[in-house]
Amino acid sequence: VKVKEIIDPADKVLTIAHRGASGYAPENTIPAIELAIEMQADYIELDIHLTKDKIPVVIHDETVNRTTGSRGYVRNLTLEQIKQLDAGSWFNEAYPMFAREQYAGITIPTLDEVFETFGDKTRYMIEIKEPGSNSQIEALLNEAIEKYKLEDVVSVHSFSSASLRKLHAINPEIPLYQLVWNDYTTARVPASYLENVKTYAVGISPNFQGIGAAFVAQVKNAGLKVMPYTVNYQVNMDKAYLWGVDGVYTNYPDRFQEVIDTN
């Protein structure tokens, strides 16, 4: 495969800490972000949903069930209710080898809290989850970016092209990545699709299992960045690196740093 000959070498292959360093600490929490920064991740990936009172909070699922031991949809809970929940104990139970006493009782952070705590000490890749056609989440995200003056360090991604287009219309300066799911590694995307994505986004983030060298080359040759998720094993990190991806999302940012250092 003559991939190396037809793609530009990436300036820097980015390590994106998926939900923070979520292999080692409770996902989408302040300790997971702290750890990812310690591990020198280039970006912190975080998922956001809106509470009932329209506050962006950092949580992956649309319910609080899996990560708090409580029950309910985020959109049906107020921030005050969300803040009563324990977002760390589930991790200690599920991953005893990485459990820490201080994780018990930590709360689901608001986006503001994250931006206020870490500011421009790191870069962020924020995922807009399940936006809904009338959601205010895009405008509220842009407000938070502007409030904390983080225009230079925040990128945004989503499976929803409608949501990305909406944010692009609000603020065309924010770098956007289209999340996609491919079924087959041999999949090639229609050139017209890539041209369309280029009207609002700077890159594509596909599932690692659904891509190969040809896909990476095609997307890069179209002038888009390509950053697969979620790459947790070294053997796959090596492959992705060799294909010439621009970055990977991983729960183990330290592992990908090693791959970069040894290649």
Q: Check: CB of residue 259 under 8 Å from CB of residue 27.
A: no
Rule CB under 5 A: is residue 127 a binding residue for Ca ion? yes
Determine the residue with CB nearest ligand G3P: 229
What's the min distance (Å) between Cβ of 22 and ligand G3P? Answer: 9
Rule CB under 5 A: is residue 27 a binding residue for Ca ion? no
Rule CB under 6 A: is residue 42 a binding residue for ligand G3P? no
Q: Are strands 154-158 and 176-180 parallel, antiparallel or unpaired?
A: parallel
Rule CB under 6 A: is residue 49 a binding residue for ligand G3P? no
Using CB under 6 A, count the residues that bind ligand G3P: 10
10 Å CB burial of residue 62 (0-12, 13-18, 19+) is middle
What's the token pair of residue 127? 């995922």
Whichever of 61 and 86 has its CB closer to Ca ion, that residue is 61
Rule CB under 5 A: is residue 47 a binding residue for Ca ion? yes
Rule CB under 6 A: is residue 168 a binding residue for ligand G3P? no
Rule CB under 6 A: is residue 126 a binding residue for ligand G3P? no
Count CB atoms within 10 A of the CB of residue 166.
20
Catalytic residue among 18, 49, 157, 168: 18
Active-site residue 18, yes or no? yes
Whichever of 127 and 138 has its CB closer to Ca ion, that residue is 127
AA identity, residue 111: L
Site string for ligand G3P, 193-232 (x = CB under 6 A): ------------x-----------------------xx--
Active-site residue 60, yes or no? yes
Q: Check: CB of residue 122 under 8 Å from CB of residue 33.
A: yes
- Kindly identify the residues of this chain, within the stretch 147-166, that bind ligand G3P according to CB under 6 A: none
Cα–Cα separations (whole angstroms), residue 226 to 160, 179, 240, 257: 17, 10, 10, 18
Residues lying near ligand G3P in the complex (CB under 6 A) are found at 18, 45, 47, 60, 127, 179, 205, 229-230, 249
Active site residues: 18, 60
